[in-house]
Amino acid sequence: METKHAVALVGLGKISDAHLQGWREAKEVQVKIVVDTDGARAGAKAREYGVPEFGTDFQAVLERQDIDIVDLAIPHFLHAPYSIAALKAGKHVLVEKPVATKLSDAEEMIKTAESTGKKLMVAEPIRFSPSHRRAARMIEQGEVGDPFLFNTRAQFYVPPQRFQGTNTGWRSEAGKIGGGVLLESGIHNIATATFLMGDVESVVAFKGKQTRSEITVEDTISVLFRFESGATGHGSFSWAARWSDYTDDFTVFGTEGVLGNRPRTGRIFLDKGKGEVREWVETQVAAGKSEEIKHFLDCIDNDKTPVTSAAEETKNLKVVLAAYLSATENRPVKIEELKAN
Ligand SMILES: NC(=O)c1ccc[n+]([C@@H]2O[C@H](COP(=O)([O-])OP(=O)(O)OC[C@H]3O[C@@H](n4cnc5c(N)ncnc54)[C@H](O)[C@@H]3O)[C@@H](O)[C@H]2O)c1
């Protein structure tokens, strides 16, 4: 097949199907090889998606001249070293969220992308979600007036198997996962917060009562935000919420109205306090990676900066790290206090 770009997808866990489907929908691109430390998993995935090659050796991928894009859907602690190695090997890199687990790693990733001139994009779906984009557009157009308060939640039950086994057991090691519900799941809500409300100036956080003994990082945390605009907000995050639903929502309160999403449905509502609630139905975030991948390719082909560049997503990582520092030291933490560690 004549293609413009050749991709190696590394890490073939839960999110890898969305990546493979996204690449399949892209034009002039071929996923040439899928790689996982679990060779049997790699073989099965290659057969399922008609990928010509599979393997277990990441280093070997870096040496190949016929591959120009590396897509990393791997455990958190590997995001930085694998991204940096791939950039230095001359590849463009798409890496799953969170950008990294430490600020110093994220900063090195940013620097390496700059020095190599290769594109580095974080796969943060919020910025590509039709419902979130609609919300951002409506706020921009002044539909809610001046936004002064933001609330968000990510509350659900992660099954114990996600923290066990050869492929997913990395989540049970604090040094590998890097953080708990806020870093892995809440980072999407933080990305939503910064997308809709602008940069965060400071946070106050309390880690919750730990009720899940199989999880070594925080399973529950509450965070108060102060945005640079002067607006405030609150986020409530838990992997221990024993209800049937998956709740992932946000609400923006403005001087002219209230706007938010309905959990699970992708619906966006606008209530101006006059007895009428308007709603729009949009595709949900979970709809896949095709928009992200399309944008990544556009950035490579036309030398643009990804909207979810490492620098942009490092802002969201800083909010998470500031919340952890606040919870540990029991005090408000300004984002500008954070130094590379
Ligand atoms: N964007 C989203 O909505 C979303 C959803 C789920 C996960 N994620 C992110 O995607 C990444 C992967 O998550 P997941 O849920 O797919 O993980 P997972 O735990 O289901 O699978 C991880 C896979 O990586 C493989 N692996 C481990 N070390 C490896 C190495 N050195 N080289 C190659 N493969 C290796 C494992 O064998 C396993 O197959 C994480 O960063 C996670 O936060 C994003």
Dump pLDDT digits (tens) for 48-66: 999 999 999 999 999 999 9
pLDDT for the residue 243: 87
CATH fold of 127-287+318-337: Dihydrodipicolinate Reductase; domain 2 (3.30.360)
Q: Please work out whether the CB of residue 125 comes within 6 Å of at least one atom of ligand 1.
A: yes
User: Looking at domain 5-124, which CATH architecture does it have?
Assistant: 3-Layer(aba) Sandwich (3.40)
> How far, CA to CA in Å, does 3 sit from each of 13, 59, 120, 304?
26, 23, 21, 21
Ligand 1 near 319 CB (within 6 A)? no
Q: Where in the chain do CATH 3.40.50.720 domains reside?
A: 5-124
Cα-based torsion angle of the residue sequence 21, 91, 84, 75 in order, rounded to the nearest 10 degrees: 20
pLDDT of the residue at 125: 93
Tokens at residue 217, please?
């990082």
Q: Looking at residues 29-35, what average pLDDT do you find? A: 98
Model confidence, pTM:
0.97
Identify the pLDDT of residue 206: 98
User: What is the pLDDT, as a whole number, of residue 284?
Assistant: 57
Q: Which residues of the chain are in CATH 3.30.360.10 domains? A: 127-287+318-337
pLDDT tens by residue, 125-135: 999 998 899 99
Token output for 247: 């709740």
What's the mean pLDDT in 314-337?
A: 98
Both tokens assigned to 330:
């029991």
Q: Is the CB of 187 under 6 A from ligand 1?
A: no
| Cα-to-centroid distance, 292 and ligand 1 (Å) | 17
Q: What is the pLDDT of residues 239-254, one digit of tens each?
A: 999 988 777 899 999 9
**Phi-psi map region of 202: left, alpha, beta (phi>0 left; psi -120 to 50 alpha):** beta
Q: How far is the CA of 1 from the centre of ligand 1 (A)?
A: 29
Would you say the CB of residue 292 lies under 6 angstroms from ligand 1? Answer: no
Q: What is the model's pLDDT at position 256?
A: 97
Tell me if 45 sits within 8 A of 54, measured CB to CB: yes
Name the closest-CA residue to atom 18, ligand 1. Answer: 13
Ligand 1 centroid – CA 61 distance (Å): 18
Q: Is 15 in the pocket of ligand 1 (CB under 6 A)?
A: yes
HEC per residue, 134-155: HHHHHHHCCCCCCEEEEEEEEE
The Cα–Cα gap between 130 and 152 comes to 18
Q: How far is the CA of 167 from the centre of ligand 1 (A)?
A: 8
Burial of 42 (0-12, 13-18, 19+ CB in 10 A): buried
